[in-house]
Amino acid sequence: LHPVHRLFSCPGTVAADVKKEEQSSGIAETGSEDRTPKKRFSEVQKERREQAQRTVLIHCPNKISEKKFLKYLSQHGSINNHFFYESFGLYAVVEFCQKESVASLQNGTRTPSMGTEAAIPFRSRCFNLKLKNPSNQTSEQPCVSRSNQSPPSSKKLFELLCDAESIDDQLNTLLKEFQLTEENTKLRYFTCSLIEDIAAAYFPDCAVRPFGSSVNGFGKLGCDLDMFLDLDDIGKVKEHKTLGNFLVEFQVKNVPSERIATQKILSVIGECLDHFGPGCVGVQKILNARCPLVRFSHQASGFQCDLTTNNRIALKSSELLYIYGALDSRVRALVFSIRCWARAHSLTSSIPGAWITNFSLTMMVIFFLQRRSPPILPTLDYLKSLADAEDKCIIEGHNCTFVCDLNRIKPSGNTETLELLLKEFFEYFGNFAFNKNSINIRQGKEQNKPETSPLHIQNPFETSLNISKNVSQSQLQKFVDLARESAWILHQEGNDHPSPSNSQLWGLATLLLPSVAKNMSQAKRKRKKPASERVKNLLESIKSSSTENPTNTSGT
Ligand code: CTP
Ligand code: MG
């Protein structure tokens, strides 16, 4: 039996530790040998949503005795799990075993009297904990350990990358450092369930579900929190047992279109968040977008949130990415590195615009892995062919059917290393005929572009849509140029053999420095100096640029 691979049953846990075990036991590092049953996306979502509903968030004094704190809260019921984290103060996330404990805590909690200000008495699951006698409780408290919710600094990342043993090791290290932790994932589901409480004041049977990179396995610490208000269950009749000749319907307000209904609902929920959502600040209603949304910051968790409604197709595409990420351990390592590379070179941005998005980059990696020989990832059509009756899924007329049980998908026999795949990714897209071909993960084949956008990546379910319609020709060209330069750098490194042990930047670390690509391209143009001198100058320039102008790799 192979080492237990915890990665997929628990999205926050780490592949790299397991990788070390695999290496030491001499197992090829494809991840394809892994036989541990993996949970379905819907099971993970259901479990985490239920956990989140019996969880509370408590703002604590900085000095607190963990033992006394837990003892105090256990008056309301047993605690299943808890952790502390820092975000403008100390917070505790406490998950009770029973949902009733939350109500018990709420019943014993008062609304603060505010002096000159007034409080809106909304009883959420966020609390402030005060010490009754601060003077005799704060002295000599050991510091509680805090779970980290942020990505590593550039300095720390470069150190870790330079200490790695191989380029494969570097990619796995980057994944380990940037992927969402177990705690961060919990906090994301919890934040959605707080928003659900507010929306449920109007729509008692609604659900607020996270989607996108928070749940698809490709989220980096610090990424935004996409969530949608799911009202689907409200329309459904639970049990249709009533006899007789009559049918009863609710009287409802009719509006001219689905879009207007969405705008009205989001508008009201936006107002509620703004007016009585504790810690919901900077609420913006962006209702005229193609997909109307409410954007806000959730202060206590530190998440930038995007709330949409009826976005079931996006949830299905999150599920598809979750499956692709879980099928082979190389997928996430490669996607994370490409995302960090793109961010470091300002190919992606947190501001919407003509740039490539992380979602598009992920699709490009998946497509590339479908094109390997033998393929590392199956096509979407193949996943559809494995589907059984219960997997059938049609949303708004779009066929979103694919196999949901990951354990029924045969692992790939491809054993290529991450180093090779990284190099080949840059070469493949450095030479891709973007002017005539489209990227399509459904068929896993290059196809003629149906329209003239510079970059065409077919939406896997709404196949007439291009997910990268926003990308301009110049942004695409920048991507192509950087891909070529990065392929060249990796190729040169292979030839020049910089020693990993000399603590200089090498491998992936070199690729993540924007100045390096520039210097490399200049060096390439000049090509006058001997190779050894070029490398020496390059390393000098890296040293100065990394101290003067550290790269921001921590953005989304
Ligand atoms: N989405 C889509 N079509 C697009 C953009 C987004 O279907 N043109 C869906 C995808 O399911 C995507 C989700 O909306 O995962 C969220 O979009 P976004 O936040 O832009 O991407 P993420 O995958 O969440 O990546 P990031 O970490 O950059 O937020
Ligand atoms: Mg997102």
d(CA 412, CA 327): 9
Q: What is the DSSP string of 228-295?
A: EEE-HHHHS-S-----SS----------S-HHHHHHHHHHHHHHHHHHH-TTEEEEEEETTSSS-EEE
Burial (Cβ within 10 Å: 0-12, 13-18, ≥19) of residue 175:
buried
CA 168 centroid distance within chain = 22
Closest ligand 1 atom to Cα of 470: 8
Name the residue among 305, 309, 306 with its Cα closest to residue 232: 309
**In DSSP terms, which residues pair with 128 in a beta bridge?**
59
The binding-site residues of ligand 1, defined as CB within 6 angstroms of any ligand atom, are: 211-213, 216, 219, 223-224, 226, 314, 317-318, 357-359, 467, 556
d(CA 422, CA 400): 30
Q: How many CB atoms lie within 10 A of CB 398?
A: 18
Closest ligand 1 atom to Cα of 214: 24
pLDDT in the model for residue 499:
53
d(CA 546, CA 11): 32
Contact 93, 24 (CB under 8 A): no
d(CA 215, CA 530): 49
d(CA 185, CA 442): 29
pLDDT in the model for residue 1:
33
- Helices and strands in the chain, H and E counts: 19, 13
d(CA 151, CA 222): 7
**In DSSP terms, which residues pair with 208 in a beta bridge?**
229
The residue whose CA is least distant from atom 15 of ligand 1 is 212
d(CA 454, CA 436): 9
* Three-class DSSP category at 169: helix
CA 413 centroid distance within chain = 28
The alpha carbon of 322 and the centre of ligand 2 are apart by a number of angstroms equal to 14
pLDDT in the model for residue 60:
96
Contact 58, 129 (CB under 8 A): yes
* Three-class DSSP category at 447: strand
- For 447, phi then psi, to 5°, come to -135, 160
Closest ligand 1 atom to Cα of 362: 23
What burial letters (b/e) apply to 400-420, b meaning 16+ CB within 10 Å? bbbbbbbeebeebebebbbbe
- The dihedral over CA atoms of 516, 521, 522, 528, expressed in degrees to the nearest 10, equals 110
The conformation of residue 212, written as its DSSP 8-state character, comes to: G
By the CB criterion, residues less than 5 angstroms from ion ligand 2 are: 212-213, 224, 226
Residue 341 in tokens: 């590379």
* Three-class DSSP category at 307: strand
The residue whose CA is least distant from atom 4 of ligand 1 is 467
Q: ω into residue 514 within 30 of 0, thus cis?
A: no
Contact 400, 323 (CB under 8 A): no
pLDDT in the model for residue 540:
52
Q: How many CB atoms lie within 10 A of CB 78?
A: 10
pLDDT in the model for residue 513:
86
Q: Which helix (H) or strand (E) holds 90?
A: strand 90-96
Closest ligand 1 atom to Cα of 468: 8
Name the residue among 116, 58, 130 with its Cα closest to residue 87: 58
89: left (phi over 0), alpha (psi -120 to 50) or beta: left
- For 227, phi then psi, to 5°, come to -145, 155
Give every residue of the chain whose pLDDT is below 50, as ranges. 1-33, 497, 516-517, 521, 523-532, 534-536, 538-539, 541-556
**pLDDT per position as a tens digit, 154-192:** 999 999 999 999 999 999 999 999 999 999 999 999 999
- For 397, phi then psi, to 5°, come to 80, -5
The alpha carbon of 307 and the centre of ligand 2 are apart by a number of angstroms equal to 11
The alpha carbon of 48 and the centre of ligand 2 are apart by a number of angstroms equal to 19
**pLDDT per position as a tens digit, 409-433:** 999 999 999 999 999 999 999 999 9
Which ligand number lies closest to the CA of residue 321? 1
Contact 110, 127 (CB under 8 A): no
Angle at 240 (CA atoms; ends 236, 246), nearest 5 degrees: 105
Closest ligand 1 atom to Cα of 224: 29
pLDDT in the model for residue 514:
74
pLDDT in the model for residue 121:
86
Name the residue among 121, 298, 91 with its Cα closest to residue 194: 298
Which ligand number lies closest to the CA of residue 314? 1
**pLDDT per position as a tens digit, 356-365:** 999 999 999 9
